[in-house]
Structure 1
């Protein structure tokens, strides 16, 4: 009987009958996007197929300028692509043409995304963990 009442209850009363404590965020709030990287000759390419090779990545981006270096990041054990890689052009203008020409296009049957690569943080800088301790622990007392 209570189950039937939960199904027929108005939206506000459904929370009373729910055993879940999850409350979805309001729809009108948008999550902030990470800041765009500064234009540089280095590109970060994501969405790569597991079968994409470094040579295939180089050939695809060579249509838009002189590729100095290309690398698909691979898994050490399997040797397959991890789904992302880097392309370095000779100039920033060629990199912009590479982004415009390849962002949102198909490569090896997958839609890829190209953007300027963000520089690595200096050595010794802790990763941005959002003020949480490592390994999924709970936040410090009083900071919830």
Structure 2
């Protein structure tokens, strides 16, 4: 019986409920004219994204990333403004606001990390019996 009690004590101790260690948080992206917009509804279109963000400046490009099979939004997209000032206004005006019934988040887009070149292809298939 004592073993059962000590097991319960360990199971329900405060230390078992300590928060996990903080994850490495990426620093905020550098200001740019390109915004990353997340939290989009599956109904949101590129035209709808352009329309709502154009209230804050000249939108050069707006695209909702869609699933190739279904054609529905994957829940994120990109908006590019003509100037940094317009991009800042777009973030201020739309971050945390509703679009198509969903709360969306707008932030400066992070540039893609450089990709390593693909491994060179050989004309012979790999040999596994050496």
The TM-score, its normalising length taken from structure 2, stands at 0.77
The match for 1:105 is 97
Distance in 2 between residues matched to 1:29 and 1:84, nearest whole Å: 28
1:62 aligned to 2:31? Answer: no
The match for 2:113 is 121
Say if 1:34 and 1:9 are closer, same or farther in 2 by CA, change over 3 A: same
Find runs of 4+ consecutive structure 1 residues off by over 6 angstroms. Answer: none
RMSD (Å) for aligned C-alpha atoms? 2.8
Aligned length: 116
In structure 1, the residue corresponding to 2:77 is in which secondary structure? Answer: strand
Query: Any unmatched runs of 5+ in structure 2?
Result: 119-130
Aligned equivalent of 1:73, options 65, 72, 89: 65
Distance in 2 between residues matched to 1:6 and 1:106, nearest whole Å: 51
Distance in 1 between residues matched to 2:16 and 2:43, nearest whole Å: 37
Say if 1:81 and 1:6 are closer, same or farther in 2 by CA, change over 3 A: farther
The match for 1:134 is none
1:33, CA displacement in angstroms? 1.6
1:9 aligned to 2:1? Answer: no
1:119, CA displacement in angstroms? 0.8
Distance in 2 between residues matched to 1:98 and 1:108, nearest whole Å: 17
